C-alpha cells in the first residue's frame, strides 16, 4: 500500500530555522493552488481530528468544542450590536467545529479502561462524562459542534499522519505512551519478568496482552517448572506461595502489588476478567515493593498508600509492612528540607502515614494475635542490580533479585541514590518492573518532532514545533505522569494554542480547505472515504455502545455487582457487532 510519509509531507513545506516553534506561522508552499479566496464567501465548519481517545483526547474535544462555540457566540453578539455597519470582515469565518476522535482499539477511554485499577471504580466514573461528549454535541443547534468516534483505526497503519494533516484543519496527537522506560540491568529477559505496563494491561483485559496470563500462571502456580505442581490450586481458591517483587515506587507499582495480593476474593466484584482471576487465585502470599530512593521521593500518592494500610481492616487478609529504619535512613537533611517546601504538604502527610504503619508493623511483630496470611512490604533505598535465574537449564526462570542498599546524596529536590556496597537478595518468582511508561513517535513522524530522550513530542504549549497543523496533549506532550485531572489544565493549554493558531491563520485554513462544507474529500467524509477505500472496519460510537452493552449483559457476569466482563480480543468485539449482540 503506497502512502505518503510524513517526511515527504513535511519536507514539502518551507521551514524557517529561527522561529520554528512559534504558534501560527503556517505558510503554504504550493501557493499556486491558492487563490486569494475571500474569507467572506460563506462560513464553513472547522474540522479537527484527535488521535487517541483517553482522558487527554476527550478533554481536548470537550474544551475545543466549547471554545469554538464561545468564540462564535461572542462574535454573534458583536455582530448584532453593530449590525448597522454590517461589514462581515470582522466576523469569524467559521460556523462551528466537527471533531473526529480516532482510536486504535474498538473501545475508547484509553487508560481509564485499561490503566485505572479495577478496584477503583469511582475513578472510572469519568467515562460517563466522556460518553456525553459525542452524544451532547450532536443535538446542539447550528453553531454547535459534532464529535464523532472512529474506533479500530490505527494511525500510521490505516491512515497516515500526513493524510490526517491534509484532511483536517487541526490534528491533535493524544495517543499517550505505548512503551516502557528502560531499566538496564542483567536478567530482564528471564521468564517471569514483566513490565508493569504488561501486567496492568493484562489484568485490565487489554486485547493485546492476553499472553501475559501464561507467564503469571507459571510464576504463581508452577514454580518448580515441572508443570506437575499446584497449577490447579488457582481454581481452588488457594493462596499462591509465590513471592512477587515489584520494582518502582509509584502508584502503578502499588496497584500491581494490591491486585497480586487481593486475588480472586478481593477482586470478584470488579471488572477484572474472570480468566485473570483464574490465574491470580486467591492472591500471592508475599509481595515486596522496592524503591531506589526514600519515601519522601516516592512518586506514589497518599490515597494509594493509605489503601494498603487498610487492606487488613477491610477484610482482604493482607498486612502492610514498612521498616522504621528505612524511613529514618531516607530522612536526610535534604529530605527534611523537601518536606518544608510549599509543595511538601503531601509528602509530609505520607511521612506521617508511613511512620504510623511502621509502628503498627512493630506492634504486630510483638503480639501473638493471628497475622494475616498475605503481606505487602514496602522496601526503600534499594537499587536493583541484577535479576538472577534458578539455574535450571531446561527452564530458566527468575529466582531472585539482587539489590544494593543506597543512600541519598545531593541538594533538596535533586537527591540521588548512591550505592553503599551492601547487597541484599530478595526471592522472586515474579518480577514486575514499574519504573515508568515512555512515549514513542508515531509512524511517519519527522525525527525533529520527537524528543526520544524524554519520549515526548516536541511542543510549545501544545503546538508541535515546526510549520504544521499538529498539536499534542496528554502524556505524549508532557511525559507520563499525573492523574486524570492533570489532563484538564493540559487540554486547556493545548486548546488555547489551537484557538490562537486558528485565529492567526483563518486565510490559510480557508485556503487549504477552500472547499465548501459539501466537499466529500475533507474532514469526516474524507476520512471515511479513505478508510473504506482501504477496507478498514472502523467502529462508530453507536457500535461501541453496543459493545459496551454486551459487556454488561447479565449472562456474561459472574455476580450481580461485577460492572462488566470485558471482551478480551478485538475479534470478539467486532463479532459482537455482527451478531448484533
> Which residues are documented as binding site for FAD?
56, 103, 111, 155, 475, 482-484
Give the C-alpha separation, 451 to 442, whole Å. Answer: 12
In which residue are the cell numbers 530555522 written? 17
The values of phi and psi at residue 223, to 5°, are: -70, -25
Position 323 contacts another protein (CB under 8 A): no
Position 413 contacts another protein (CB under 8 A): no
Rank residues 162 and 251 by Cβ distance to another protein and give the closer one. 251
Distances (CA, A) of 96 to 48, 64, 510, 515: 11, 10, 14, 15
Residue 16 C-beta: closest distance to another protein, Å = 10
Give the C-alpha separation, 464 to 458, whole Å. Answer: 6
Residues 104-143 contacting another protein, CB under 8 A: 120, 122-123, 125-126, 128-129
Rank residues 398 and 473 by Cβ distance to another protein and give the closer one. 473
Residues 223-252 contacting another protein, CB under 8 A: none
Cα atoms in the Cβ-side hemisphere of radius 13 Å centred on 409: 6
Q: Which stretch binds another protein (CB under 8 A): 217-225, 271-279, 336-344, 376-384?
A: 336-344
List, as residue ranges, the binding site for NADP(+).
Answer: 249-252, 292-293, 304, 482
Residue 481 C-beta: closest distance to another protein, Å = 10
Residue 200 C-beta: closest distance to another protein, Å = 19
Give the C-alpha separation, 258 to 308, whole Å. Answer: 7
**Grid cell in block for residue 80:** 448584532
Does residue 142 contact residue 45 with C-beta atoms inside 8 Å? no
Rank residues 458 and 574 by Cβ distance to another protein and give the closer one. 458
Give the C-alpha separation, 563 to 131, whole Å. Answer: 16
Rank residues 100 and 490 by Cβ distance to another protein and give the closer one. 490
Rank residues 134 and 192 by Cβ distance to another protein and give the closer one. 134
Position 452 contacts another protein (CB under 8 A): no
Size of the site for another protein (CB under 8 A): 50
Residue 475 C-beta: closest distance to another protein, Å = 11
Position 339 contacts another protein (CB under 8 A): yes
Residues 272-311, one symbol each (x = binds another protein by CB under 8 A, - = not), give -----------------------------xxx--x--xx-
List, as residue ranges, the binding site.
Answer: 56, 103, 111, 155, 249-252, 292-293, 304, 475, 482-484
Rank residues 154 and 451 by Cβ distance to another protein and give the closer one. 451
Position 498 contacts another protein (CB under 8 A): no
Give the C-alpha separation, 124 to 111, whole Å. Answer: 10
Residue 89 C-beta: closest distance to another protein, Å = 26
Non-local CB neighbours of 132 within 8 Å, separated by 6+ positions: none
Non-local CB neighbours of 319 within 8 Å, separated by 6+ positions: 311, 312, 361, 364, 371, 372, 374, 375, 376
Residues 172-211 contacting another protein, CB under 8 A: none
Residue 380 C-beta: closest distance to another protein, Å = 17
Residues 6-65 contacting another protein, CB under 8 A: 17-18, 20-21
**Grid cell in block for residue 179:** 512503551
Residue 405 C-beta: closest distance to another protein, Å = 24
Task: Give per-residue burial for 335-359: e unless 16+ CB within 10 Å, then b.
Answer: beebbeeeebeebeebbebbbebbe
Rank residues 119 and 282 by Cβ distance to another protein and give the closer one. 119
Out of 232, 328, 356, 553, name the contact with another protein by CB under 8 A. Answer: 356
CA 259 to chain centre: 18
**Grid cell in block for residue 533:** 477505500
**Grid cell in block for residue 219:** 510464576
Out of 1, 141, 228, 342, name the contact with another protein by CB under 8 A. Answer: 342
Position 411 contacts another protein (CB under 8 A): no
Sign of the CA dihedral running 8, 12, 18, 19: negative
Rank residues 235 and 363 by Cβ distance to another protein and give the closer one. 363
- Secondary structure (H, E, C), 494-512: HHHHHHHHHHHCHHHHHHH
Give the C-alpha separation, 445 to 441, whole Å. Answer: 6
- Secondary structure (H, E, C), 346-391: HHHHHHHHHHHHHHHHHHHHHCCCCCCCEEEEEECCEEEEEEEECC
Rank residues 336 and 371 by Cβ distance to another protein and give the closer one. 336
Residues 474-493 contacting another protein, CB under 8 A: 477-478, 483-486, 488-490, 492-493
178: three-class secondary structure by DSSP: coil
Binding interface with another protein (CB under 8 A): 17-18, 20-21, 120, 122-123, 125-126, 128-129, 301-303, 306, 309-310, 313, 336, 339-340, 342, 345-346, 348-349, 351-353, 356, 448, 451, 454, 458-461, 465-466, 477-478, 483-486, 488-490, 492-493
Amino acid at each position: 500500500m503506497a502512502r505518503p510519509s510524513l517526511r515527504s509531507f513535511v519536507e514539502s513545506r518551507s521551514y524557517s530555522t529561527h522561529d520554528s516553534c512559534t504558534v501560527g506561522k503556517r505558510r503554504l508552499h504550493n501557493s499556486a493552488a491558492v487563490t486569494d479566496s475571500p474569507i467572506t464567501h460563506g462560513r464553513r465548519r472547522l474540522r479537527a481530528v484527535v488521535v487517541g481517545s483517553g482522558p487527554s483526547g476527550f478533554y481536548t474535544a470537550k474544551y475545543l468544542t466549547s471554545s469554538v462555540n464561545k468564540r462564535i457566540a461572542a462574535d454573534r453578539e458583536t455582530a448584532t450590536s453593530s449590525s448597522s455597519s454590517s461589514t462581515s470582515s470582522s466576523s469569524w469565518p467559521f460556523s462551528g467545529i466537527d471533531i473526529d476522535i480516532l482510536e486504535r482499539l474498538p473501545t475508547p477511554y484509553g487508560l481509564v479502561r485499561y490503566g485505572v485499577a479495577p478496584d477503583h471504580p469511582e475513578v472510572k466514573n469519568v467515562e460517563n462524562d466522556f460518553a456525553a461528549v459525542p452524544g451532547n454535541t450532536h443535538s446542539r443547534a447550528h453553531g454547535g459542534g459534532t464529535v464523532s468516534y472512529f474506533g479500530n483505526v490505527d494511525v500510521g497503519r490505516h491512515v497516515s499522519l500526513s493524510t490526517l494533516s491534509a484532511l483536517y484543519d487541526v490534528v491533535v496527537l493524544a495517543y499517550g505512551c505505548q512503551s516502557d522506560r528502560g531499566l538496564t540491568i542483567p536478567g530482564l529477559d528471564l521468564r517471569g519478568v514483566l513490565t508493569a505496563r504488561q501486567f496492568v494491561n493484562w489484568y485490565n483485559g487489554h486485547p493485546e496482552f492476553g499472553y501475559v496470563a501464561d507467564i503469571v500462571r507459571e510464576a504463581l502456580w508452577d514454580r518448580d517448572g515441572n508443570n506437575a505442581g499446584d497449577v490447579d490450586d488457582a481454581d481452588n481458591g488457594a493462596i499462591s506461595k509465590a513471592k512477587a517483587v515489584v520494582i518502582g515506587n509509584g502508584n502503578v507499582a502499588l496497584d500491581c502489588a494490591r491486585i497480586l495480593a487481593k486475588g480472586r476474593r478481593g477482586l470478584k466484584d470488579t471488572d477484572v476478567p474472570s480468566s485473570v482471576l483464574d490465574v491470580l487465585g486467591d492472591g500471592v502470599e508475599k509481595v515486596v515493593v522496592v524503591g531506589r530512593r526514600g519515601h519522601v521521593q516516592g512518586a506514589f500518592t497518599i490515597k494509594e498508600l493509605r489503601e494498603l494500610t487498610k487492606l487488613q481492616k477491610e477484610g482482604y487478609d493482607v498486612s502492610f509492612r514498612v521498616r522504621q529504619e528505612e524511613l529514618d535512613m531516607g530522612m536526610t537533611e535534604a529530605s527534611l528540607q523537601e518536606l518544608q517546601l510549599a509543595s511538601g504538604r503531601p509528602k509530609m502527610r505520607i511521612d506521617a502515614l508511613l511512620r504510623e504503619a511502621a509502628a503498627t508493623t512493630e506492634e504486630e511483630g510483638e503480639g501473638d494475635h493471628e497475622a494475616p496470611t498475605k503481606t505487602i512490604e514496602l522496601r526503600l533505598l534499594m537499587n536493583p542490580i541484577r535479576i538472577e535465574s534458578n539455574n535450571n537449564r531446561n527452564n530458566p526462570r527468575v529466582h531472585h533479585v539482587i539489590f544494593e542498599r543506597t543512600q541519598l546524596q545531593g541538594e533538596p529536590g535533586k537527591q540521588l541514590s548512591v550505592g553503599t556496597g551492601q547487597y541484599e537478595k530478595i526471592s522472586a518468582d515474579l518480577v514486575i518492573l514499574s519504573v515508568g511508561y515512555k512515549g514513542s513517535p508515531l509512524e511517519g513522524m519527522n525525527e525533529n518532532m520527537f524528543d526520544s530522550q524524554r519520549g515526548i513530542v516536541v511542543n510549545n504549549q501544545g503546538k508541535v514545533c515546526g510549520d504544521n497543523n499538529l498539536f499534542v496533549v496528554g502524556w505524549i506532550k508532557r511525559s507520563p505522569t499525573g492523574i486524570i485531572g492533570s489532563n484538564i489544565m493540559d487540554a486547556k493549554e493545548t486548546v488555547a494554542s489551537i484557538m490562537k493558531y486558528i485565529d492567526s491563520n483563518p486565510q490559510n485554513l480557508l485556503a487549504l480547505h477552500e472547499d465548501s462544507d459539501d466537499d466529500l474529500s475533507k474532514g469526516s467524509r474524507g476520512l471515511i472515504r479513505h478508510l473504506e477505500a482501504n477496507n478498514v472496519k472502523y467502529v462508530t460510537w453507536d457500535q461501541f455502545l453496543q459493545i459496551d452493552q454486551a459487556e454488561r449483559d447479565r449472562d456474561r457476569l459472574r455476580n450481580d455487582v461485577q460492572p462488566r466482563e470485558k471482551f478480551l480480543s478485538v475479534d470478539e468485539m467486532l463479532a459482537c457487532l455482527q451478531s448484533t449482540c
